[in-house]
Chains A and B, each alone.
Chain A
Amino acid sequence: MKNFLAHLTTQRKLGLFALVLGFFAIFAGSPYNRTKITLNAKDLALIAEKNADNVSVQDVANWIIQGKVDFRIIDTRPASEYAAYHIPMAQNIRLSELMDQHFYPTDKLVLYSDTGEDAAQGWFILKGQKYQAVYILKGGLDTWKNQILFPRLPDNPTPDQLASFNKIKEISKFFGGTPQTGTKEEQSQPKVKNLPKLQLPENIPNATPRKRRKEGC
Chain B
Amino acid sequence: MNAPLFKFGLFGNEVSLIVAFIIGIGFGFFLERAGFGSARKLAAQFYFRDMAVFKVMFTAIITAMLGLFYLSWIGWVDLSQVYLVPTNVWPDLLGGLILGVGFVIGGYCPGTSCVAGATGKVDGYWFILGLVFGIFAFGEAYPWISDFYNSSYMGQITLPQLFNISYGVLVFVVVLIALGGFLLAEKVEKYFAKKDAEAAR
Binding site for B on A (CB under 8 A): 11, 15, 18-19, 21-23, 25-32, 34, 102, 104-106, 130, 132, 215-217
Contact = CB atoms under 8 A, between A and B. Distances in A.
B178 interface: yes
Contact of A105 (B68, B81, B84, B171): B81
Nearest to A104: B7
Contacts of B8: 105-106, 130, 132
Most central of A29, A32, A132 by chain B CB within 10 Å: A32
Given A34-B80, A106-B8, A22 B175 contact: yes
B83 A28 contact: no
Given A106-B8, A215-B83, A22 B68 contact: no
A124 B14 CA distance: 32
Given A31-B69, A215-B83, A26 B169 contact: yes
Interface string B173-201: 01110110010000000000000000000
B9 interface: yes
Interface in B51-69: 62-63, 66, 68-69
A25 B69 contact: yes
**Contact residues of A: prevailing secondary structure:** loop
A104 B8 CA distance: 8
**Contact residues of B: prevailing secondary structure:** helix
Contact of B175 (A18, A106, A130): A18
Contacts of B79: 31-32
A18 B178 CA distance: 10
Given A25-B66, A28-B168, A132 B72 contact: no
Contacts of B182: 11, 15
B176 A22 contact: yes
A30 B166 contact: yes
B82 to A, nearest CB: 10
B166 A32 contact: no
Contacts of A21: 66, 70, 175
Contacts of A105: 7-9, 78, 81
B172 A25 contact: yes
A29 B168 contact: yes
B2 A22 contact: no
Interface in B71-101: 72-73, 78-81, 83-85
Given A105-B9, A216-B85, A18 B69 contact: no
